[in-house]
């Protein structure tokens, strides 16, 4: 099979929150889609190892916040590369509660939907959760983030727990003259062609010229954790 065929599938980027009784958490997911219109239902694919997986199973409800294109990498890094088992991800994030009482992430969000779980499908590493939308609203007219934008413009990667994870993902940006550097902690690739707009680093800035205070925009690792990318030819 030519796995590159799978790279042509389009997705958005979302924060899925869940939990109950003061035990709440959220994670990034790209695998979310509307299943039916009447009743309005959606499905998400969640890795069984994720802390969020257990919370959805026990509380039988979840909220999906549709992320804005402008969502910064450190925000995606917090929800997509760290686990609620280790950090309280919602601690410093603006949320509100609605019908399900699950925190609705409002930061970097264009709209949200609240869902009550109806069905589960065991898919090996992941479970597909299908649920009825019980409420939802639009909170901004900003452009929603697509997975392609996250990869191609922001230079973002996915961890092993994402359903779309690919080992040694192909280069997302053009091959520049200066070398790209890979974060050994989370896999983020610093591409001098793109720079790092979240940190005010202009396109064309070589890795060697980044200030020593610069840190990985996704996981916060310092410059010493970066390794020169091996030749992609
Ligand atoms: C771009 C991106 C897309 C992701 N998509 C999914 C997904 O669709 N399903 C999933 O289970 N994990 C996905 N992940 C991985 C989870 O967000 C990640 O494993 C997270 O740390 C789990 O957090 P938790 O243990 O607090 O639940 C994605 C991560 C990123 C960065």
Query: Could you check whether the bond before residue 151 is cis, i.e. omega within 30 degrees of 0?
Result: no
Task: Reply yes or no on whether the pLDDT at 95 is more than 70.
Answer: yes
**Ligand 1 neighbourhood includes 82 CB (under 6 angstroms):** yes
Q: Which atom of ligand 1 is nearest to the CA of 82?
A: 21
60, two tokens: 């039988």
* Rounded Cα distance, 133 and 144, in Å: 19
Whether the Cβ atoms of residue 92 and residue 104 lie closer than 8 Å to each other: no
CA dihedral 71, 147, 170, 220 (to 10 degrees): 20
Ligand 1 centroid to residue 204 C-alpha, Å: 30
Q: Which of the listed residues 25, 159, 166, 187 should we mutate to test ligand 1's pocket, taking the one with most ligand atoms within 8 A of CB?
A: 159
Q: Please give the backbone phi and psi of residue 59, each rounded to the nearest 5 degrees, phi first.
A: -85, -25
Ligand 1 centroid to residue 178 C-alpha, Å: 31
Whether the Cβ atoms of residue 217 and residue 72 lie closer than 8 Å to each other: yes
Average of per-residue pLDDT across 6-27: 95
Q: Tell me how far CA of residue 204 lies from CA of 85, 196, 210, in angstroms.
A: 38, 10, 11
**Ligand 1 neighbourhood includes 30 CB (under 6 angstroms):** yes
* Rounded Cα distance, 233 and 220, in Å: 29
pLDDT at position 88: 96
**Chain length of the chain:** 233
**Ligand 1 neighbourhood includes 162 CB (under 6 angstroms):** yes
* Rounded Cα distance, 23 and 79, in Å: 16
Q: What is the pTM of this model?
A: 0.85
For the chain, the average pLDDT equals 91
Name the residue with the closest Cα to ligand 1, atom 14. 162
For 180-205, the pLDDT digits (tens) are 999 988 888 899 988 998 889 998 99
* Rounded Cα distance, 7 and 20, in Å: 36
For 128-174, the pLDDT digits (tens) are 999 999 999 999 999 999 999 988 887 777 888 888 887 655 444 44
Task: Reply yes or no on whether the pLDDT at 230 is more than 80.
Answer: no
**Ligand 1 neighbourhood includes 163 CB (under 6 angstroms):** yes
DSSP state for residue 171 in the 8-state scheme: P
Name the residue with the closest Cα to ligand 1, atom 5. 29
Whether the Cβ atoms of residue 194 and residue 187 lie closer than 8 Å to each other: no
Q: Residue 175's pLDDT band (boundaries 50, 70, 90)?
A: very low
pLDDT at position 6: 86
DSSP state for residue 12 in the 8-state scheme: B
């Amino acid at each position: 099979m030519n796995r590159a065929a799978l790279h042509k599938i389009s997705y958005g980027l979302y924060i899925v929150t869940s939990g109950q009784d003061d035990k709440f958490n959220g994670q990034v997911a790209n695998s979310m889609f509307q299943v039916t219109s009447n009743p309005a239902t959606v499905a998400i694919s969640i890795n069984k190892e994720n802390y969020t997986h257990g919370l959805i199973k026990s509380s039988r409800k979840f909220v999906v916040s549709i992320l804005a294109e402008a969502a910064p990498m450190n925000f995606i890094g917090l929800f997509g590369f760290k686990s609620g088992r280790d950090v309280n991800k919602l601690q410093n994030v603006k949320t509100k509660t609605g019908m399900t009482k699950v925190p609705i992430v409002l930061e970097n969000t264009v709209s949200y939907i609240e869902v009550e779980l109806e069905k589960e499908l065991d898919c090996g590493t992941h479970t597909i959760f299908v649920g009825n939308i019980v409420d939802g609203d639009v909170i901004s007219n900003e452009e929603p983030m697509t997975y392609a934008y996250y990869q191609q413009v922001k230079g973002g990667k996915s961890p092993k727990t994402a359903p779309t994870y690919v080992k040694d993902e192909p280069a997302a940006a053009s091959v520049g003259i200066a070398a790209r550097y890979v974060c050994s902690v989370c896999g983020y690739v610093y591409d001098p062609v793109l720079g790092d707009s979240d940190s005010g680093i202009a396109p064309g800035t070589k890795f060697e010229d980044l200030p020593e205070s610069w840190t990985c925009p996704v996981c916060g690792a310092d410059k010493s954790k970066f390794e020169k990318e091996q030749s992609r030819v």
